[in-house]
With several copies, the nearest count.
Chain A
Amino acid sequence: MKKILNNPADYVDEMLDGFVAAHPQFYAQPERRVIARPEGATSGKVGIVSGGGSGHLPVFTGYVGPGFLDACAVGDVFASPSAEQMASAIRHADGGAGVLRLYGNYGGDVMNFDMAGEMVDMENDIRTATVLLADDIVSAGKDEAEKRRGVAGMIYAFKIAGACADTKADLDEVTRVAQKAADACRSIGMALTPCIVPQAGKANFELGENEMEMGMGIHGEPGIWRDALRPADQIVDEMIDRILADHPFSKGDRLSVLVNSLGATPLEELYIMYRKVKQRFDAIGAEIVMPLVGRYATSMEMTGATITTIALDDELERYLKAPAACAYWRVG
């Protein structure tokens, strides 16, 4: 296991200690495994919480910050936080206007966030709403789109929902806008090498010396096909074709695109991919607004990349461009 760590059992807690120490202007850890804004919740603003397993930095907890999330519950690597931790995150995000739970559609997270919602409802009288991120087009067909997993597209939803909440819109409105953003995202991934969950100590899947897997999920969930590594342009073409089949774009449409590394794939290669992505949307005549290329949602040291599109209308574009800041993404 080639990882820089001490005791694998301490991986997440030591990571959070360093994370908060490095960026005290953005993050505080008021309780173990709960990250919140150092200045506390904003009174009268809808709070937005997320959460999920560790191992995906900057997702989830890196997106706590002005114009983004208010708090986050942090689980073990690739494991849900507990309902108690989620309830605590909700309490820290609550500014009296209710709290939106905005997180990826994974069974364990859903059960625990539902339970957390019941807990804060009973104990703290906090009104909550839920928007699930389900942007991975490979994880279920279009007819069962609500079963899809949430992947990198979530960062657009964090940004847009955060900007809406900043206008002091009420919980219903923030929920509507977050759902609209979530619905506008489509993602697909591909992987070349696995990552190692520290407590497991071994790779979470195996791929042959020269193999890639199209459509693989961020925890190694099986994809569409596994075969010899293809040239970058061919890979991107297939990814874009699959996205377009699920959500067509036409001339004059506006969108943002995220070309995201799962961790080890270097920026150099993301730009080679982005070059092709840009060519494809130029050919359609759709305009890419605020493209993102980098490591925005990872699986530790996994090699591979995801592409996300988000179709924009005036409302979503306005919220996407509104000022926001966290340690990994700053707008305005």
Chain B
Amino acid sequence: MATLDSARLKAALQRVAAGAAAAAAELNAADGQLGDGDLGITVSKGFAAAAEADLPSDLGMAFLECSKAFQRVSSSSYGTLVATGFMAAAKSAKGFETLEVSAIPALVAEARDAMMARGKGELGAKSVLDSLDACAKAIEDADAAEMGDKAVAAARQTLQDFKGRPCKLGRARMFTEKSAELDDPGQLAFLRIVEAAVPTAE
């Protein structure tokens, strides 16, 4: 796959919806340790709605539909952040029916920036922002074939990098010690999303 179009976006969303449904219990539990325990619901409901949405062929409008789907079904932080990310991608992709895969890293970076602005968050605070940032950087110069694997590796590495460091954003920041011991639920959710988005080789 060297280009992205609306059909491929939909296929990816359907894979993520399946992956998110499978990971829902794990993510609820992770969020339950440090927050209100709804992250699995947020992610699974959000991607289910996005996967079911009618996606127009204009990629910008397609991303906008994803954003709206998330806003409708979820009001938790992660849902709003994901909706914000899709909205940023929508702005860049507007007017294109296909995009080179090489355009994806820029979309990820723009999503990251918009989400930082929305949540008034900084990098290094142990949140989903760090995962996005790592991914954006890892795939920046990657060619299409290796981009998926690099993204997964970066998302996984982010969890490693933040072991022992406390969360400084979201509800988890109230638990300095416990949040240092545990994975940030949002970073974990991001890993599960990327794992599901990348079509397996077999």
Contact = CB atoms under 8 A, between A and B. Distances in A.
Contacts of A222: 174-175
Interface in A85-140: 85, 107-108, 110-112, 114-115
A84 B118 contact: no
Nearest to B176: A222
B118 A78 contact: no
A108 B75 contact: yes
A75 interface: yes
Nearest to B169: A107
B44 interface: no
On chain A, which size bracket covers the interface?
Answer: 20 to 34
Given A82-B71, A107-B170, A222-B174, A115 B84 contact: yes
Interface string B59-90: 00000000000011011110011011000000
Contacts of A81: 75
A148 to B, nearest CB: 13
Nearest to B75: A82
B76 A79 contact: yes
A144 interface: no
Contacts of B76: 79-80, 108
Interface string B35-79: 011100000000000000000000000000000000110111100
B77 A107 contact: yes
A268 interface: no
A56 B169 CA distance: 24
Interface string B172-193: 0011000000000000000000
Contacts of A107: 77, 119, 169-171
A221 B174 contact: yes
B174 to A, nearest CB: 5
A200 interface: yes
Nearest to A84: B71
B72 A108 contact: no
Interface string B147-184: 00000000000000000000001110011000000000
Contacts of B83: 83, 115
Contact of A83 (B80, B119, B169, B171): B80
B37 A111 contact: no
Interface in B80-132: 80-81, 83-84, 118-120
B118 A111 contact: yes
A79 B38 contact: yes
Nearest to A78: B36
On chain B, which size bracket covers the interface?
Answer: 20 to 34
Nearest to A81: B75
Nearest to B73: A82
A138 to B, nearest CB: 12
Nearest to A204: B36
A114 B37 CA distance: 24
A111 B72 contact: no
Nearest to B171: A107
A200 B37 contact: yes
Contacts of B118: 111, 114-115
A89 B170 CA distance: 25
Contact of B119 (A82, A111, A221): A111
Given A107-B170, A115-B84, A80 B75 contact: yes
Interface in A276-304: none
A107 B175 CA distance: 16
A241 B174 CA distance: 24
Nearest to B37: A200
Contact of A111 (B77, B171, B174, B175): B77
A58 to B, nearest CB: 21
Contact of B80 (A78, A108, A221): A108
Interface string A187-208: 0000000000100100000000
B72 A79 contact: no
Nearest to A77: B36
Contacts of B72: 82, 84
13 contacts: A75-B75, A76-B75, A79-B36, A82-B71, A82-B74, A83-B83, A107-B119, A107-B171, A108-B77, A111-B77, A111-B81, A111-B118, A222-B175
Given A82-B74, A107-B169, 10 more contacts: A78-B36, A83-B71, A84-B71, A107-B170, A108-B80, A111-B81, A111-B118, A111-B119, A197-B36, A222-B175
Interface of A: 75-76, 78-85, 107-108, 110-112, 114-115, 197, 200, 221-222
In the A-B complex, list the 9 residue pairs whose CB atoms are closest, starting with the nearest. Answer: A82-B75, A111-B80, A80-B75, A108-B77, A83-B71, A111-B118, A221-B174, A112-B80, A84-B71
Interface of B: 36-38, 71-72, 74-77, 80-81, 83-84, 118-120, 169-171, 174-175
